[in-house]
Amino acid sequence: MKQQNNALETQALNLYYGSTQALIEVDIQIPKNKVTALIGPSGCGKSTLLRCFNRMNDLIPDCSISGSILYHGEEITGRSTDVVELRKRIGMVFQQPNPFPKSIYENVIYGPRVHGIKDRKELDAIAEKSLKGAAIWEEVKDRLHDAARGLSGGQQQRLCIARTLSVGPDIILMDEPCSALDPIATAKIENLITELKEEYTVVIVTHNMQQAARVSDYTGLMYMGRLIEFDTTPVIFERPKEELTENYITGRFG
């Protein structure tokens, strides 16, 4: 029954880049319809873990893993897993806003289109819904056919979120989505994240502990490839069990 509440779960996950081990025996349960933050110093493996969930690590030539990753209780590390379908269900937002060099509209409907939707009306509807979902509709609705790269950084990042929403995922992975943005744009994205958890499970990697504290329901601290502690956000920030966690969130290292 526990599986019902976990959108993602790893068991004894190890990951190697060639001969260096980047993840060591990671066990984590990501609850459904919650925001889970992964924090930790640079190089601790938090982004690597995030990229395991949608198998983006497949793109790195000498990357290998052992252990298991369950998506709604289903093993996704095997060769038989349909990676394309998996990535459709588990969306990802990157550190740098990376809209394609196309129009705003073309960016949003890129996903549905590759998944075979051709009907113009349906695409229009998806575009509007996704842009509204990413709280950018009002700003761009009159210039949908302008180039996406003409938008501001914060707008570009929300467009990327809209692009992710357009294929109808149930999980959204965010890899430091605000690190390239100013405080106002960051605040907008943070509000958006809070709204998104109504419908989606969100996993966010962040360097910014205040951000983790503000937006997340659960927080995991990673260090040197291990998951040190994982609990609800208030527990992590107020009564951490591990000394390492306390040292990190109080700023004594990292």
Partner 1 sequence: MQKNRIESQTIDLFTRQNKEKTISCIWLGTALVAVITIILILGFLFKEGLPAIIEIGIPEFIFNEIWRPTSENPSYGIYSLIIGSILVTIGAIAIAVPLGVGSAIFISEVAPPQFREAVKPAIELLAGIPSVVYGFFGLIVLTNWLRILLDLSSGATWLAGSIILGIMALPTIVSISEDAISSVPKDFRSASLALGATRWQTITGVLIPSALSGITAAIILGLGRAIGETMAVLMVTGNAAVIPDPIYNVLSPIRTLTATLGIEMGEVAIGSTHYHALFGMALVLLLITLFVNLSATYILARIREGQTGSSRTPLFSHEQRKQIRSIIILSILVASGWISFQIVGFHGIAILAAILTLGYVGSRFLSRQSKEKIAFGCVTIATALVLFALVAIIFDIVSNGLPAITWEFLTESPRNLGREGGIFPAIVGTIYLVIGAIAIALPIGVGAAIYLNEYTLEGRLTRIIRAGNDLLNGTPSIVFGLFGFAFLVIFVGLGVSLLAGQITLALMVLPTIIRTSEEALKSVPDSLRHGSLALGATRWHTISKVVLPAAAPGILTGTILSIGRAAGETAPLLFTAVVFSKRFLPGTVFEPVMALPYHLFILATNVPGADTQKYGTALVLLALVTGIYAVAILMRRHAQKTVRW
Contact residues: partner 1, CB under 8 A: 54, 56, 59, 61, 84-89, 91-92, 94, 96, 98, 100-103, 110-111, 113-116, 145-150, 160, 163-164, 166-167
Give CA torsion, residues 73, 77, 79, 82, to 10 deg: 60
d(CA 35, CA 193): 8
Burial degree of 225 (CB within 10 A; 0-12, 13-18, 19+): buried
Task: Quote the least distance from Cβ 52 to partner 1, whole Å.
Answer: 13
Task: Quote the least distance from Cβ 174 to partner 1, whole Å.
Answer: 11
Q: Give first-to-last CA distance, the chain, whole Å.
A: 37
**Closer residue to partner 1, CB minimum distance, 106 or 242:** 106
153-165 helix and 104-114 helix, angle to the nearest 10 degrees: 20
**Closer residue to partner 1, CB minimum distance, 89 or 226:** 89
Task: Quote the least distance from Cβ 199 to partner 1, whole Å.
Answer: 18
In which element (H, E) is residue 68 found? strand 63-71
**Closer residue to partner 1, CB minimum distance, 38 or 148:** 148
**Closer residue to partner 1, CB minimum distance, 103 or 201:** 103
d(CA 136, CA 177): 16
Q: Which DSSP string corresponds to 175-224? A: ESTTTTS-HHHHHHHHHHHHHHTTT-EEEEE-S-HHHHHHH-SEEEEEET
Task: Quote the least distance from Cβ 154 to partner 1, whole Å.
Answer: 16
**Closer residue to partner 1, CB minimum distance, 178 or 209:** 178
Task: Quote the least distance from Cβ 161 to partner 1, whole Å.
Answer: 12
